[in-house]
Amino acid sequence: MSDATPQGLIESRLRDLYLDWSNLMATKELDMRLFRSIFDEWHQPTVEPEGVSYKEETVGGVPGIWAFPEGADRSKVMIYTHGGGFAVGSASSHRKLAAHVAKAVGATAFVLDYRLAPEHPHPAQVEDGVAVFHALVERGIAPESITTVGDSAGGNLAIGIALALRDEGAPLPGAVVVFSPWLDMENAGETLVSNDATDALITVPLLEGMIAGRLGGGTSPDDPLANPLYADLTGFPRLYINAGSLESLLDNATRLHERASAAGVDVVLNITPGQQHVYPFLAGRDPAVDAELRAIGAWLGA
């Protein structure tokens, strides 16, 4: 008899966490401190990766957590921007996921504790990522050896950092990797409706509140730096996108792929059947996730 965990139970680790959050948010009025506290549980479905050490540091004025896999090439750095609607999540909630990605890539990762909305609306989060990028370059890391990586809202930021650098006329990162990117600040996606019944976390009211906090009344929802679906992606770095088939933000990924392809970007899109929002949180627990991370590592090394 096999002692392997059935796939359905593996996937339910993430879905059940999302359902717990959704039930809590539906039944209680949460102040921002408590709201952020519960989202710091996001690491729970992720197995602690072996052979990784961590270090807290401030880089370019931005605090965060380094992940150093054993034997990693320290000349290759991933700037990891966490998800959480620009308002919640932290380096602590995402350090294990970032470490799994870094380990698969053979690089180090710096997970930003960027400034959060609504206290710090757009473009504060992008500015923090740009500051980290410049600080790494000043330390001697080659721009092309830096990859911006992010999930959900952090995927938006991973793209926005590269766009902001391009607007500055600065060197660009060598690649961008995004998991379940949340890009649409207009809530115009069709899968918000078609996948509403299968997504365990995302709702339109949740997104509306986070959009209001992020834009702060001073940024248009079609600003390309806030909503990369409006950006000119010509000359954009290599781009890897993945998403789960069950999630409400699925068409953010597919629309990004279409726009990047039309702009001539070297882009890969992987939609994994039966998976929730930011399914790589199952790293170390789901063999399919671990295989996906190895595929990203191979893609980056190609």
* Token pair of 74 as six digits: 């320290």
Q: Looking at the chain, list the stretches that DSSP marks H as alpha helix, in order from N- to C-terminal side.
A: 7-27, 32-39, 91-105, 124-138, 153-168, 191-194, 204-215, 250-262, 287-301
292 CB-near residues (< 8 Å, 6+ apart): 242, 270, 272, 280
The single-letter DSSP state of residue 231 is S
Separation in Å, CA 267 to CA 176, 181, 184, 205, 258: 10, 14, 19, 31, 9
> Which is the catalytic residue, given 247, 248, 257, 292?
247
> Which is the catalytic residue, given 90, 93, 145, 152?
152
Decide: residue 301, CB within 10 A, 0-12 exposed, 13-18 middle, 19+ buried. Answer: exposed
Does 277 participate in catalysis according to the annotation? yes
> Which is the catalytic residue, given 94, 100, 122, 277?
277
CA distance 28 to 101: 35
Does 247 participate in catalysis according to the annotation? yes
Does 186 participate in catalysis according to the annotation? no
Active site residues: 152, 247, 277
